[in-house]
């Protein structure tokens, strides 16, 4: 893993490279920024530059308890070392949901336990096997429990010799202030659209037009760009449901709308909420489509193809009410209301709203 493997982030790469060139490497760095910006990729590349041997690069990450673990066992990263290694062999760009799936999690919450901090103390007490440094990469440190966070604080206050801590965080405000104050913070911003476009062309073989469109919709998030390339991704399903809904509402086919509502009610609440978020985005994009300014739209080719004929039905007379209706649905679903009732009521009200001009 090198800086060449990191998409964009030229300013951050230059800053980290300068630390090495000037031999001014802080004992703890906090890389923080949004999902899909490449924080872990930067940390992995930087660690590889500091440590000649993989044995001197340690990774800590949130884990779950599995049914075969004893009651007194505190789950640690080493319990899932094989899964972590397999994930990194595929990509250094992944989300906590991807990691939960790799671990086989169902409803468990992934955390970094106090057992992990004890393991770190043991590992980092050893001298580097080669070179000058050992590195400790802590992915999503905001998921440390309080015992682990306090032990990490002591490590940062009295760091082991020749050790560099690299904390990779999406929610730095959730960390103890005393931990944040003992790190050098580097804000990793969203990836520039041009960098995502270029990576889609060079790494994924996309043509310039599609690469540019996906890069704009990704909005600085490489994970989102990759998700959009998957023909079976969730958004494709949501687009199909959105198109079906709008056509049935236009035809006022109450019988089929009832079937549509029952189908959506079986998706599970988290997915229902994501569908409502997607529908809200489609309403906004179709409304903006009417202004005929392509630079303001963020839709895939499939979404845009539907918008060409449908967008006129989302206008000044109904867009605010539709968004308000979607907000209400999201609130009701989040509060565990009966999904069949919520979605059927939503479809009936959409029939009325779509004819407003």
- Residue 129 is predicted with a pLDDT of 62
- Residue 295 is predicted with a pLDDT of 78
pLDDT digits over 69-97, tens only? 888 888 999 999 999 999 999 999 999 98
pLDDT digits over 177-201, tens only? 999 999 999 999 999 999 999 999 9
- Residue 131 is predicted with a pLDDT of 63
Locus of tokens 């003992």: 182
Q: Which of 264-268, 296-300, 343-347 has the lowest mean pLDDT?
A: 296-300
d(CA 114, CA 155): 13
Locus of tokens 């009410």: 321
DSSP per-residue codes, 253-303: -HHHHHHHHHHHHTS-HHHHHHHHHHHHHHHHHHHHHTT--GGG----HHH
Residue 23 gets the label, from left (phi > 0), alpha (psi -120 to 50) or beta, of: left
d(CA 3, CA 217): 25
pLDDT digits over 14-69, tens only? 999 999 999 999 999 999 999 999 999 999 999 999 987 888 899 999 999 888 88
- Residue 230 is predicted with a pLDDT of 72
d(CA 63, CA 143): 10
Residues facing residue 137 across a β-bridge? 59, 166
pLDDT digits over 205-234, tens only? 988 988 998 898 899 999 999 988 875 568
Locus of tokens 């895939």: 300
Identify whether the C-beta of residue 200 lies closer than 8 Å to the C-beta of residue 206. Answer: yes
Cβ neighbours around 166 below 10 Å, total: 27
Q: Is 154 exposed, middle or buried (0-12, 13-18, 19+ CB in 10 A)?
A: exposed
Question: If you count them, how many residues does the chain have?
Answer: 357
Q: Which of 5-19, 100-114, 137-151, 248-262 has the lowest mean pLDDT?
A: 100-114
d(CA 192, CA 195): 5
pLDDT digits over 108-158, tens only? 789 999 999 988 888 887 776 666 789 999 999 999 999 999 999 998 988
d(CA 220, CA 193): 6
Give the 3-state secondary structure of 110-154: CEECHHHHHHHHHHHCCCCCCCCCEEEEEECHHHECHHHHHHHHH
- The Cα angle at residue 276 between residues 283 and 242, in degrees rounded to 5: 60
Say what angle helices 319-334 and 339-354 make with each other, to 10 degrees: 180
Output the CA–CA distances (angstroms, integers) from residue 272 to 48, 86, 162, 323, 331, in the order listed. 41, 31, 49, 16, 11
């Amino acid at each position: 893993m090198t800086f060449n493997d990191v998409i964009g982030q030229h300013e951050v790469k230059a800053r980290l490279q300068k630390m090495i060139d000037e031999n001014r490497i802080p004992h703890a760095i906090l890389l923080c920024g949004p999902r899909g910006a490449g924080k872990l990729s930067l940390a992995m590349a930087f660690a590889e530059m500091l440590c000649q041997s993989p044995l001197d690069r340690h990774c800590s990450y949130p884990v779950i308890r599995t049914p075969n673990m004893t009651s007194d066992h505190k789950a640690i990263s080493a319990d899932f070392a094989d899964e972590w290694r397999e994930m990194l062999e595929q990509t250094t760009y992944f989300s906590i949901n991807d990691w939960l799936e790799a671990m086989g999690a169902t409803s468990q919450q992934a955390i970094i336990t106090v057992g992990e901090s004890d393991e770190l103390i043991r590992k980092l007490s050893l001298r580097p096997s080669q070179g000058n440094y050992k590195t400790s990469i802590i992915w999503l440190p905001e998921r440390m429990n309080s015992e682990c966070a306090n032990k990490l604080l002591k490590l940062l206050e009295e760091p082991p010799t020749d050790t560099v801590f690299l904390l990779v965080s999406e929610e730095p405000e959730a960390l103890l202030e005393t931990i944040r104050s003992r790190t050098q913070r580097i804000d990793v911003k969203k990836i520039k659209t041009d960098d995502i476009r270029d990576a889609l062309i060079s790494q994924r073989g996309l043509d310039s037009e599609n690469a540019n469109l996906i890069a704009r919709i990704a909005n600085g998030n490489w994970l989102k760009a990759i998700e959009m390339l998957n023909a079976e991704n969730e958004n494709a399903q949501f687009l199909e449901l959105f198109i079906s809904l709008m056509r049935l509402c236009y035809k006022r086919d109450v019988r089929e709308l009832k079937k549509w509502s029952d189908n959506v009610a079986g998706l599970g609440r988290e997915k229902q909420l994501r569908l409502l978020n997607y529908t809200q985005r489609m309403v906004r994009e179709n409304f903006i489509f009417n202004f005929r300014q392509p630079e303001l739209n963020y839709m895939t080719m499939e979404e845009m193809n539907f918008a060409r004929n449908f967008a006129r039905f989302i206008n000044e007379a109904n867009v605010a009410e539709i968004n308000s209706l979607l907000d209400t649905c999201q609130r009701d679903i989040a509060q565990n209301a009966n999904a069949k009732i919520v979605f059927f009521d939503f479809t009936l009200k959409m029939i009325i709203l779509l004819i407003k001009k």
